[in-house]
Every structure is written in C-alpha cells, then in structure tokens.
Amino acid sequence: MKTAAISVFLLLICLGYAFSQSTEDQIIELVGQYGQARAQKDADLLKRILVPEIDQLVSTGEWRRGVDQSLAGMMRSYTRQPGSRSLTVEKVRFITSETAIADARYVIDNDDGTQRKMWSTFVAVLDGGHWKIAAIRNMLPAQ
C-alpha cells in the first residue's frame, strides 16, 4: 500500500513537471510567433495571437490599448526605427494555469550599426484553448 502511494505521488509529480515543461514551451513559442509576426509585419498573425483588449506600454512611454492601437504602433515602430529585432525568453512564471508572465531580452540591431537592448515582459492568457498575449511591457534598463 505504501509503495503504491509513493508510486502515485511520483507519477503526479512527473505529470505536473511534464505539463509545466510543455506549457512553458508553448509560452516561449508564442513569444517567438510574436517576434516573427513583427519581423514580417504580419498583421493577421498578430491578430491571432493578441487578445482584442491587449494593453501595451512601450519604452517611449506610449500606451497602446486595444489590438488596433497596438498593431498601428507596431507597424509604425519599424518605419521610425528600422533594423532587426530579437526576443529571447529568459524566464516564464505561471500565475495560474491560465496566466503566465514571460520575461525576454529584446534587442534591436539598428540599420545604422547601433544596438538597443531592452527587456520585454509578456502576459499570456489561455483563451479558447490557445495561449495569447494580453499585455506587453518594454523597458530600457537603468543606466
């Protein structure tokens, strides 16, 4: 009986670990899709991975509320600051089984050879069985 209880306990731990790993991978993939959509200026993909009421605060202090404002601002930022962008997720933390925070390094390699290094924080929510981005915060590190 004791061995069976221990076996069940270990199985539950393994299942929990497997769930969190695959779910963490889904969040990392979501941030990757966001980066890909931004690089390709793919508004359709962005609309699929952002919740309609997305809330985005960018490093300039501009606050974008709603998918329309966010998309317009995202497309504008490539015109104002051309170059390649990369996002590297460093940490995913689950608030609940349906809400996660992903912290990522955000680097912009400008066309003029300069580089801008920031942090981006994404709030992801499970929406209709799919992870979507509900909020984004971009921050410049303190000098």
Residue-wise pLDDT for 91-131, tens only, equals: 999 999 999 999 999 998 888 888 989 999 999 999 999 99
3-state secondary structure of 40: coil
Strands 50-57 and 130-139 come out as: parallel
Task: Quote the tokens at residue 57.
Answer: 């605060």
CA distance 136 to 110: 21
Q: Which residue has the tokens 């799919």?
A: 130
CA distance 99 to 49: 14
- Where exactly are the structural domains of the chain? 2-139
Task: Quote the tokens at residue 88.
Answer: 């590297």
What is the pLDDT confidence band of residue 3, given thresholds at 50, 70 and 90?
Answer: low
- The CATH class, in words, for 2-139 is alpha beta
Residue-wise pLDDT for 34-81, tens only, equals: 999 998 989 999 999 999 999 999 988 899 999 999 999 988 887 777
Q: Which residue has the tokens 């606050």?
A: 63
